Chains A and B, each alone.
With several copies, the nearest count.
Chain A
């Protein structure tokens, strides 16, 4: 966990409103899939948390969607410029080597952290199914990249313009994916729907953050069993075992 100036290697539009950035990272050696980096941008007082999508030697890749002023500013940065990166933060997905197969389920910009995760499970020779949900075909990304890793990719689009029409769960049913150990990341409604079906695996959560490292209590989630217990999404999370925290 360190705060360093990193250099942008590339920063390009991947699909509409969504960018991919490659940057140097001093702390690559410590990183695990599902952890995040916290980016300080000029003009903004709070850092922006973004998941690590891929770790490659001394570089990482992130994929982010422009949803507000901070991500817009990020998208306007150019190769060669420096950014202040605090990383790696949080607890990622544990790699469970005893598993034979894993089902990764991602929605939109919840997909990026699953890429490094798929990579690591594939390195262990595991069977990896990936279900990616998007609003439409135009928004789809990383199908080829996952396939290249040797993962099996299934696409769901809300308008049916690509893959299975409907949600990621519709795709799971349509393609009859029966793996019960899942790792998921995506919007809250998606996670809630998955929680109704799965109980083995991990969810990655989001929250508005301030410190990003566990000091300020901005980002808590309630424990499902102990009413008066909270977990910090930035520190104990963002990845939690299914059933650990209340999805709210």
Chain B
């Protein structure tokens, strides 16, 4: 087997491989660091940071669904100050690229979080979570309207001293329109997709299973939708895309590369198999060379590019 080049350079991110645990599914890495060396990872998208600490929604916060799960965590996090004080210095020990996922209740909050993180050398790029369906104010609202999405992107770009990636919600009629608006507003890249709004009901009580009523659907169930959206947007924008949604193995990664993603984030699969990122990274060279690729770059966008 020839050496396969897994390396990819993206705005702010020199990834040794394209595998990044997704925000909210990996905490700040502390738990997974007990299982393996985080330096193996291409990068880590840390849990959404908000300006003040957030305590999230009531429990139950999760429910199982066929090939997926619903979550309504509600962006629980200790707030950006605590993250700077406690988590980033700890994360600095690892040779991997840290992406700070930024969330807020309104546009100013996003800017404030970015300003606080601007001088943190551990943070290599920002990922704007304008798509979390589980918070009352802002969140999904911003991500479903192209003007609002563009506006928050613009404000964040102005404030940011590092590349700004925008994480899109799939709960929209026209994802391409939003991707383009965000690109025009200066986004350095897109991360897609966040979760899809869903529900389950408790058979006994007849009431919604989640205390928050609705939650975000993730896992293999949403992979076909994520692939479709990446495929559509990759052809409509000129900024790179990090694909997310239902990835569990190296074959899934290859599909996302074909669709036009340059790297991927892995979310729920970390719960099903806590070693899944390591396994994917190990399998990726084999799978790529099995299908005739010597680098991940060769596979990116292959579905619509002519050889």
Tell me, yes or no, whether A and B come into direct contact in the complex with CB atoms closer than 8 A: yes
A69 to B152, CA, bound (A): 44
A181 within 8 A of B: no
Identity of the chain A residue whose Cβ is nearest the Cβ of B58 in the assembled complex: A248
Task: Known contacts A45-B64, A218-B71, A228-B53; decide if A213 and B272 are in contact (CB<8 Å).
Answer: no
A215 touches B62 (CB 8 A): no
Bin chain B's interface residue count. 35 or more
Q: Mark A67-110, 1 if CB is under 8 A from B, else 0.
A: 00000000000000000101000000000000000000000000
| B272 CB, nearest partner CB in chain A, Å | 6
Q: Do A45 and B60 form a contact, CB below 8 Å, given A3-B274, A213-B31, A215-B25? A: no
Q: A215-B27, A216-B71 are in contact. Are A47 and B34 (CB under 8 A)?
A: no
Give complex CA distance A3, B30 in Å: 17
**Is A13's CB within 8 Å of the partner chain B?**
no
Q: For A179, what are the chain B residues with a Cβ–Cβ distance below 8 Å?
A: none
| B219 within 8 A of partner (CB) | yes
Contact B59 A45, beta carbon cutoff 8 Å? no
Q: Is the CB of A47 within 8 A of B60?
A: no
| Stretch from A56-64, A146-154, A161-169, A202-210 at the B interface | A202-210
Whether A211 and B59, one on each chain, are in contact in the complex, defined by CB atoms closer than 8 angstroms, is no
Residues of A within 8 A of B274 (CB): 3, 86, 211, 213
Minimum Cβ distance to chain A for residue B66 (Å): 8
Say how far A168's CB is from chain B's closest CB, in angstroms: 23
B272–A40 contact, CB under 8 A? yes
Whether A3 and B272, one on each chain, are in contact in the complex, defined by CB atoms closer than 8 angstroms, is no
A215 touches B32 (CB 8 A): yes
Q: Measured between alpha carbons, how far is A101 from B47 in the docked complex, in Å?
A: 44
| B31→A218 contact, CB < 8 A | no
Q: Mark A207-241, 1 if CB is under 8 A from B, else 0.
A: 11111111111111100000010100001000000
B68 within 8 A of partner (CB)? yes
- A46 at the binding interface (Cβ < 8 Å): yes
**Residues of A at under 8 Å CB distance from B?**
1-3, 40, 44-47, 84, 86, 207-221, 228, 230, 235, 248
